[in-house]
Structure 1
Amino acid sequence: MNNERGKGPQQIGEALGDLDKSLARLKAAHDAQRQKRIEAAARPGESWEQAAARLREEEARAERERGSGSVKSAPPASSIRKPPRGDEQPDFFVPTLYDVGTKDSRSIMDVAVFRLSKKDRRAGDVIRYTLPDGHVTVSAGAVGMASVWDYDLVLMAVSHLTEAMNRYREGKGAKPGRVFRPHVADVLKFCRRADGGKQKDDLVETCIRLNTTHVAVQRTRKAKNGRTVTVSEGEALISRYKVIKSESGKPEYIEIELADWMYREITEGKNPDVLTVHPDYFLIDPGIGRFVYRLARRAAGKSAAKWAFQTIYDRSGSAGTFKEFCRLLRKIIQANDLPEYELREEAGQGGPLLVMTHRDHADAELPPPAGV
């Protein structure tokens, strides 16, 4: 203190310089804290700028609510579950069920060939979808219909088959076969699930349900001679399976054989049509949320699309009422945290519409709504 006083009065310029430095340090600390907060709050598929803009809007809305004396409502429940401990997931290419074939087969990609409910096993149930050029029938076995979570195993198998075919076409490997034999730990890692005993045991039932859920497709199309023909074909989601257990009785390896039509369309097509599935797809908890994401990838792609609530309900295979389906769908819209896509509801002439917009194309021009 005495030394400081001994320096004599400080010049105004020096004092202001010190103040500027202090303010600069405070601003840098504030900016760093804000950067971390925005990064932590960013939703899957959302850029830093988009997250920052959303947070500014939320803060402004909260300020308006405080000014008006309104009570702040609880935030909507997230559609995304937390990843398991140690989760690391690289990007990968995953063809969806009907997205690997010809242009004709794309017309039936946006239907659920599995159940979306975790609780209702739907053993022995039949779902029939009527489409412009035919219909799709999904039949469940005695142990229950395959679920959208069971189908993760098919996604993994088809993903690896696609990558192996890419290497084969580049002359870097042999042509892959229909059989896929991963370690159970690799399956759980790919599907972003915990590596526990129950999760491993559940994979056995997954294989059974995939093997006993039958998908029949009937389509009407023009033959080469100009005649109109109807083609019907069907197969289970996987042709066969084998589970290899360790000495402790826990599943160690799973061997599945892909459906023949799926294998042929990936290996025989010159340019199989492959969609990129966001890694956070596997973290989407509600079955309807997963179906909406798949629909958005198919219909909106990198731009935007509108679908009627009624059409989404009809294509989902839901066993619940339309009213309950709308309630669950609105919860997902309110959370608005699905990977890559912004969701909002819009009034339509025939009922409510779901607007799905890729976050990189917020100003995209929307096509006419589907199913209206």
Structure 2
Amino acid sequence: MENASHPARRTVIAVRDVADLMVWPWFSLAKSPRHTPIAFEQGAVRIRVEPAGALGIATLWDADVLVWAASQLTEALDAGRTPSRHLETPAYPLLRFLGRSVGRHDYALLRAAFDRLAATRIETTLRAGPEGPARFRWLEGWEPTAAGVRLTLPDWLFTAVCERRVLTLDPGYFALTGGVARWLYRLVRKMGGWQRGGGAIGLHRLHARSGSPVRPAEFARHIRRIAASGLPGYRLSIERGGGEERLLFSRERTAANLSTAPCGQSVNDDGTSHLSEIGRSPCRLAGERHPDSESSPWPASPIRPYNLYNLNNNRLLAADSSTPPPVDKSSGPGRTPR
């Protein structure tokens, strides 16, 4: 089916990512433009990612658009509908799905992400046919429409989703601010899965897998700081020994995965909050977040209010495409873009 496909009909759907994108170096881990190609080789897997012009390589924040697309397509498959690699949607629900604000600047950043995804060139032997390496761009094309935006996915990515090569992500992934933290969560989710046993990987191997241009020692410092803070749904720790540091990761034990036997006793009286005023919360306003850094996995900066004007106005169409793609200089994308 090659007609434009509208997104999932349900308002709330699971966040899903293509598994093949979670353990290999496909994206830049920095918000500043990266013009140096990513070249990676391990066994039979070879990957080369190149920028086009001044746009730079697509970033992990740009890749949120692909997470949205994979989530929409998987939801369509689950509902028994025939998906299409063409997706059309208003920009507003796309931004809200990604946990971003909806001001004019956010729409401009989204448009810049489309441009980088459509310009970044990939060549890989992963899931390539007998004719040789697969060559594609993250978006074969995109265009504003009266309804919002129309995206065209490459066959390589579309086929992966149709073959159910997807994994569910914790929605807290979108709140991770550091590029290394975002990349590490995806790798841990793919390698560790949901099993409680978890896994381990050496920091030198991690550095090679990330495609990061920073020195190994600096990358290791990032990993140590992230391990101290943890990642959504996972516990991390550093093991030292044998001449190399290793990252250990295991799934967190939460109320959702703990099993308890029934006590056989009746429930106590209905719980009450004992608030002194009806309709008023005693909690203090939370308008600030902790300072951000490239290695910090948590949101930062003041939380920007919703721009209600954009509920009925698609700012994507108003973004000035004649100017260079904007660089997101906010502290982090907890509720901010890219």
Q: Sort the TM-score into its range (normalised by shorter chain).
A: 0.5 to 0.7
| Secondary structure at 1:111 match in 2 | coil
Q: In the alignment, is residue 113 of structure 1 matched against residue 26 of structure 2?
A: yes
Aligned residues: 241
**Offset at residue 201 of structure 1 (A):** 0.8
1:273 is aligned to 165
Match 2:148 to one of 232, 253, 260: 253
> With structure 2 as the length reference, what TM-score do the two structures score?
0.67
Change (3 A) 1:91 1:353: farther
Give unmatched runs, 5+ long, in structure 1: 1-88, 100-108, 224-228, 246-251, 362-372
Query: What residue identity is the alignment partner of 1:118?
Result: K
| Secondary structure at 2:180 match in 1 | helix
Alignment of 1:292-331 (within 5 A): 292-302=184-194, 303=196, 304-331=198-225
- Do the aligned residues in 2 keep the contact of 1:112 with 1:317 (CA within 8 Å)? yes
Q: In the alignment, is residue 344 of structure 1 matched against residue 229 of structure 2?
A: no
Change (3 A) 1:149 1:311: same
**Offset at residue 149 of structure 1 (A):** 0.4
**Offset at residue 256 of structure 1 (A):** 0.8
**Offset at residue 355 of structure 1 (A):** 0.6
Q: In the alignment, is residue 287 of structure 1 matched against residue 199 of structure 2?
A: no
- Larger helix proportion of the pair: 1
**Alignment partners' CA distance in 2, 1:98 and 1:295:** 10
- Do the aligned residues in 1 keep the contact of 2:85 with 2:152 (CA within 8 Å)? yes
**Alignment partners' CA distance in 2, 1:127 and 1:217:** 11
2:267 is aligned to none
Q: In the alignment, is residue 163 of structure 1 matched against residue 92 of structure 2?
A: no
Change (3 A) 1:347 1:262: same
Q: In the alignment, is residue 95 of structure 1 matched against residue 7 of structure 2?
A: no
**Offset at residue 93 of structure 1 (A):** 4.2
Query: What residue identity is the alignment partner of 1:205?
Result: A
**Alignment partners' CA distance in 2, 1:266 and 1:332:** 30
- Do the aligned residues in 1 keep the contact of 2:38 with 2:48 (CA within 8 Å)? yes
Query: What residue identity is the alignment partner of 1:148?
Result: L
Indicate the structure (1 or 2) with the bigger Cα radius of gyration: 1
Query: What residue identity is the alignment partner of 1:130?
Result: E
Change (3 A) 1:199 1:180: same
Match 2:101 to one of 191, 194, 197: 194
- Do the aligned residues in 1 keep the contact of 2:127 with 2:134 (CA within 8 Å)? no
**Alignment partners' CA distance in 2, 1:244 and 1:210:** 18
**Offset at residue 231 of structure 1 (A):** 3.6
**Offset at residue 244 of structure 1 (A):** 4.0
2:61 is aligned to 149
Alignment of 1:350-369 (within 5 A): 350-360=243-253
**Alignment partners' CA distance in 2, 1:257 and 1:91:** 21
Fraction of identical pairs, as percent? 25
Query: What residue identity is the alignment partner of 1:200?
Result: Y
| Secondary structure at 1:344 match in 2 | strand
**Alignment partners' CA distance in 2, 1:288 and 1:139:** 20
Superposed CA deviations along residues 236-260 of structure 1, whole A, max 9, x for unmatched, are 0111011247xxxxxx722110111
| Secondary structure at 2:18 match in 1 | coil
**Alignment partners' CA distance in 2, 1:129 and 1:160:** 30
- Do the aligned residues in 2 keep the contact of 1:133 with 1:220 (CA within 8 Å)? no
- Do the aligned residues in 1 keep the contact of 2:18 with 2:165 (CA within 8 Å)? no
- Do the aligned residues in 1 keep the contact of 2:117 with 2:139 (CA within 8 Å)? yes
Match 1:237 to one of 120, 132, 138: 138
Match 1:129 to one of 19, 33, 40: 40
**Alignment partners' CA distance in 2, 1:135 and 1:230:** 15
**Alignment partners' CA distance in 2, 1:273 and 1:317:** 22
**Offset at residue 185 of structure 1 (A):** 1.0
**Offset at residue 322 of structure 1 (A):** 1.1
- Do the aligned residues in 1 keep the contact of 2:19 with 2:167 (CA within 8 Å)? no
Query: What residue identity is the alignment partner of 1:206?
Result: A
**Offset at residue 115 of structure 1 (A):** 0.4
Change (3 A) 1:318 1:244: same
- Do the aligned residues in 1 keep the contact of 2:192 with 2:199 (CA within 8 Å)? yes
**Alignment partners' CA distance in 2, 1:280 and 1:264:** 27
Query: What residue identity is the alignment partner of 1:237?
Result: W
CA RMSD of aligned residues (A): 2.3
Give unmatched runs, 5+ long, in structure 2: 1-10, 255-338
- Do the aligned residues in 2 keep the contact of 1:220 with 1:231 (CA within 8 Å)? no
Query: What residue identity is the alignment partner of 2:226?
Result: I
Alignment of 1:20-31 (within 5 A): none
- Do the aligned residues in 2 keep the contact of 1:111 with 1:315 (CA within 8 Å)? yes
Change (3 A) 1:350 1:240: farther
